[in-house]
Structure 1
Amino acid sequence: MTAQNTEVTTETTDVVVVGGGNAGFTAAHAAAVRGRSVMLLEKGEQDMAGGNSFYTAGATRIAHNGLEDLRDFIEPDDRHATTVVPPYSAEEYAADLAKVTEGRNDPELTQVLVTESQSTLRWLNSLGLKYRLMYERQAYERADGSYLFWGGLHVGNVGGGEGLIEDHTQVAGKLGVQVRYGHRATELCVEDGRVVGVAVETSGGRKVIRSESVILTAGGFQSDPSWRREHLGKGWENAKVRGTPYNTGDMIAAALNVGAAKGGDWSTCHSVQWDAFTATNESNRELTNRLTRQSYPLGIIVNTEGKRFLDEGADFRNYTYAKYGKEILKQPGSVAYQIFDATLRPMLRTEEYDMPGISVATADTIEELAAKIGLDPTALTQTIQDYNASIDRTVEFDPTIKDGRKADTTPPKSNWASPLETGPFYAYGVTCGITFTFGGVKADTHGRVLDADGQHIEGLYAAGEMLGGLFSTNYPGGSGLAAGCVFGRRAGALA
């Protein structure tokens, strides 16, 4: 080892933020506007920066009172004049969190999230982040040409995840935040029971960055196959990593090593249906979120035996998509197929189902489709015949509401059951794409990391995916970015 690599240099700042995603930048902004000197450490080089946030669609779930309550901080759009955005109250937000997590969400963290989500986005907008209504993902155009939003998730960043990180980076520059790329934090420095900095590895050697406070926003452990297998279970090492390859649990381990208590559910995660066969279907910086397949409530999903195995219409996509990746992983070969016909195909999300290089097979008959994807034609035909015959066609199909149009088969499809009768037919191969893990460190509502006795480890804060306690089994779409904003801001306001 060279002398350059063995020498340890020291730098000093008021606040160190470890992790350059949405939560990290929000925390850095909140500290900087208070006059703190802030250094944000990003494990990736600049061309790989942005954490998991870069790979998202930018959807952010907030409570609001409808379109008029949003107009002054979202980008103008001519479609607003013919758009209906139903109000989404803090009470509904909290109820949705409790429903999808089966009551395992921390009530105090939940209360802060649902009451401060909108005000936090307004604050970020005042700094320079741009938001819009997400027509292409969360609204359907009605017969009269108007638009109706659904599912409680309406607002997102201009430019998606890429736009989110670009805006954050520009704001950080204006506020004087030092963003250091290629800085891998390895451990926390502690003196007299207080965290006083971090040890860092860079291409130029090792260094210690001393600070009054350290805010950990370095994500979960989803990018490490061995951690996934250990905590999520056998088979999870085979899941595809949707986002950054750098969320390997380093700083979770560092926090636990200095006495932090574990927080949240370490045995479950956010995972989705993900393009199964595209060659570059992990950590793809160009396609990012376009590799998801989220129009599944309109059609059916079958495994490689040609059988359905879940209720595609149990609820709006926003409340089921983060748990259905796990169900795909359980199937033979961890692969399944979303099936649609020519009637449904125009309703599929363009950004996802018209993706370049998409895994899709098309055929004029079900038998031909089965042959193309290697399924038993008799089995797939029987599944679709049984499904079609069981649909209650007296109920009108309406994708903007839970329409109760049911397929009374096994398993049932509770809503949006539309017969697959009109060729050509389409099959999209999907597997399990892991987004982030739900287990992290335990902290209070201000992001102060707690030890096993419930005491704050002085100088240590956490936000984003590292903050355990909000999610378990499932989560409402858009609440991850919202939590990163809310608790990142809270941590930065104290650090």
Structure 2
Amino acid sequence: MELMLRETAAGSAGADFDVVVVGGGNAAFTAAHAAAVRGRRVLVLEKAPREEFGGNSYYTAGATRIAHGGLEDLRDLVEFDERHAVSEVPPYPAEEYAADLEKVTEGRGDRELAKVLVEEAAPGLRWLKSLGLKYRLMYERQAYEREDGTYLFWGGLHVGNVGGGEGLMEDHVRVAGQLGTEVRYGQDVFGLIVEDGAVRGVKVRQADGAVREVRAESVVLGAGGFESNPDWRREHLGEGWQNAKIRGTAHNNGDMIAAGLEAGAAKGGDWGSCHSVQWDAFTPNNESNRELTNRLTRQSYPLGIIVNNRGERFLDEGEDFRNYTYAKFGKVILQQPDSIAYQVFDATLRPMLRTEEYDMPGVSVRTAGTIEELAEGIGLDPERLAKTVNDYNSSIDTSIPFDPNVKDARRADTFPVKSNWATPLVTAPFYAYGVTCGITFTFGGLKADTHGRVLDGEGRWIPGLFVCGEMLGGLFSGNYPGGSGLAAGVVFGRRAGALA
């Protein structure tokens, strides 16, 4: 049974809306705003119920990577903070942004998409601010307070939303209302209406099984990747990925990617990799948790060591700033025995750990007075863990000053090496935080040009069809620089909405 929705819009003969946006995260709402400010009649269709609004974006810290010229350049964008007077925010030029994208993706990303992202991320945030979104410097995540009371920001990622991901999405919904955009929740969009080679709307499955058609001049797909679909994860990412924990929304199951492919879209990007992180392994309700959201991540790992359940280190915790390694280390954890590892710190390092994550209610942590007792508490072989820690401790050149604000070259010359921030674990009590792999989003999606126009296998635009956000394939592969996902949602959401 099919029911036809008819809500005649001026200037849109035969269409119910000028633009239909499928999805409800940062990219989708940015596209909706960009269309609405042009006077387009816009409908946003979100699969989740209202109480689960926000897509993956709700679960983030709101960090957004932009090129900028330092604190003075950012004053017009970020909310005032009295700490600005004692803060050093190094410039992050576009050339460095582009080089970071090239480095972490090992050159596998689409250079044209990357160029647009780098150039338009900062103007995109300023445009969103003009509409009512709010931004700040991320002191608690991207800077350490120094002994003299000053702050030095690091890692190129300095700006985030006021209120984190929750604040980001509350702002987006409020702005949509102010712009006259209609938002409908609980909408199971599963297919596209294709006529004469052009997309003319979407198909929505009702609770009773009936199909409702919503017609539009343009459809913008911003419904996320396939990370919540265990079968697709297993098929495209590999065996074992079906066991990863879902960090964000449970509704990103790839339905609209499938709909796009059925409509003739070509695949884009790296379908065999994803963004995944170290995630609290043992806390109950550690998937799609809207109360704790991003607090379930464990991202102070560059300060300590990580061991598997054999008591062995297996990666270079200090390879680079956390912003350039965290999105790939989840995969490495997944590959360990039982997909479990432990971040280990001592009493000297413990005060430096991110409060929002390591003081989380119900955090998975064991504490002990000796390394051997710590091992017993987490079920590891005491002698083996003690040997790992002793080998690590004895290999550190402590004459090199420790400075977490820079890549300090304080190296642990053991195997594997730790390239920076190596500090002997000698002061009791000792702490072990159990982590597993938490999947954020998948890197493969639909192929599009730099304006978000979806392309078919011959490189031709499918009229009426646009894509943005995590559904847009091509930007990332294997890894990504922290904060560039939300930035891409802004840039390509805005571009798609500007044409739709």
Q: TM-score, normalised by structure 1?
A: 0.98
> Distance in 1 between the 2:495 and 2:459 partners?
19
> Distance in 2 between the 1:72 and 1:268 partners?
37
Q: Deviations over 1:35-78 (max 9, x none)?
A: 00000000001001111000000000000000000111211100
**Pair 1:8 & 2:3 matched:** yes
Pick one of 124, 147, 150 that aligns with 1:146. 150
Residue aligning to 1:75: 79
> Distance in 2 between the 1:307 and 1:353 partners?
22
Residue aligning to 1:303: 308
> Distance in 2 between the 1:7 and 1:30 partners?
31
Return the letter of the residue paired with 1:50. G
**Pair 1:397 & 2:427 matched:** no
Return the letter of the residue paired with 2:456. D
Return the letter of the residue paired with 2:171. D
Contact 2:2 2:213 in 1 (8 A): no
Q: Deviations over 1:342-377 (max 9, x none)?
A: 000000000000000000000011011000000000
> Distance in 2 between the 1:85 and 1:73 partners?
14
> Distance in 2 between the 1:194 and 1:178 partners?
24
Pick one of 305, 329, 332 that aligns with 1:327. 332
Residue aligning to 2:51: 47
**Pair 1:443 & 2:438 matched:** no
Residue aligning to 2:422: 417
Residue aligning to 2:93: 89
What is the CA distance between 1:7 and its match in structure 2? 4.5
**Pair 1:484 & 2:489 matched:** yes
> Distance in 1 between the 2:46 and 2:397 partners?
53
> Distance in 1 between the 2:438 and 2:168 partners?
22
Corresponding residue SS for 1:237: helix
> Distance in 2 between the 1:51 and 1:97 partners?
24
**Pair 1:118 & 2:127 matched:** no
Residue aligning to 2:184: 180
What is the CA distance between 1:394 and its match in structure 2? 1.5
Return the letter of the residue paired with 2:278. Q
Residue aligning to 1:170: 174
Pick one of 225, 232, 238 that aligns with 2:230. 225
Return the letter of the residue paired with 2:96. E
> Distance in 2 between the 1:436 and 1:392 partners?
39
Contact 2:221 2:466 in 1 (8 A): yes
**Pair 1:136 & 2:113 matched:** no
What is the CA distance between 1:27 and its match in structure 2? 0.0
What is the CA distance between 1:297 and its match in structure 2? 0.1
Corresponding residue SS for 1:212: strand
Corresponding residue SS for 2:391: helix
The within-5 A match list for 1:230-309 is 230-309=235-314
Q: Deviations over 1:118-174 (max 9, x none)?
A: 000000000000000000000010111000000000000000000000000000000
Residue aligning to 1:381: 386
Q: What count of residue pairs does the alignment treat as equivalent?
A: 490
What is the CA distance between 1:105 and its match in structure 2? 1.0
> Distance in 2 between the 1:293 and 1:203 partners?
39
Return the letter of the residue paired with 2:145. E
Residue aligning to 2:437: 432
Residue aligning to 1:455: 460
Return the letter of the residue paired with 1:120. G
Q: Over aligned residue pairs, what C-alpha RMSD do you find?
A: 0.7
Q: Deviations over 1:236-257 (max 9, x none)?
A: 0000000000000000000000
Corresponding residue SS for 2:75: helix
Residue aligning to 1:342: 347
Corresponding residue SS for 2:384: helix
Return the letter of the residue paired with 2:322. R
Corresponding residue SS for 1:168: helix
Structure 1: gaps of 5 or more residues: 1-5
Return the letter of the residue paired with 1:107. R
Return the letter of the residue paired with 1:360. V
Contact 1:182 1:203 in 2 (8 A): no
Pick one of 24, 32, 39 that aligns with 1:28. 32
Contact 1:193 1:458 in 2 (8 A): yes
> Distance in 1 between the 2:304 and 2:376 partners?
19
**Pair 1:369 & 2:374 matched:** yes
What is the CA distance between 1:202 and its match in structure 2? 3.2
Contact 1:182 1:202 in 2 (8 A): no
Contact 1:297 1:313 in 2 (8 A): yes
> Distance in 1 between the 2:5 and 2:194 partners?
15
Return the letter of the residue paired with 1:393. T
Residue aligning to 2:13: none
> Distance in 1 between the 2:247 and 2:442 partners?
12
Question: 67-76 or 350-359: which moved more?
Answer: 67-76
Structure 2: gaps of 5 or more residues: 7-15
> Distance in 2 between the 1:68 and 1:198 partners?
46
Corresponding residue SS for 2:380: coil
Pick one of 356, 359, 382 that aligns with 2:361. 356
Contact 1:196 1:213 in 2 (8 A): yes
What is the CA distance between 1:9 and its match in structure 2? 2.8
Contact 1:448 1:462 in 2 (8 A): yes
What is the CA distance between 1:203 and its match in structure 2? 3.1
Return the letter of the residue paired with 1:270. H
> Distance in 2 between the 1:145 and 1:184 partners?
52
> Distance in 1 between the 2:176 and 2:217 partners?
20
What is the CA distance between 1:341 and its match in structure 2? 0.1
Corresponding residue SS for 2:76: helix
Q: Deviations over 1:306-355 (max 9, x none)?
A: 00000000000000000000000000000000000000000000000000
Contact 2:20 2:220 in 1 (8 A): yes
The within-5 A match list for 1:99-118 is 99-118=103-122
Corresponding residue SS for 1:72: coil
What is the CA distance between 1:393 and its match in structure 2? 1.1
> Distance in 2 between the 1:402 and 1:7 partners?
60
What is the CA distance between 1:405 and its match in structure 2? 0.3
Residue aligning to 1:3: none
| Aligned sequence identity (%) | 74
Corresponding residue SS for 1:143: coil
Return the letter of the residue paired with 2:175. V
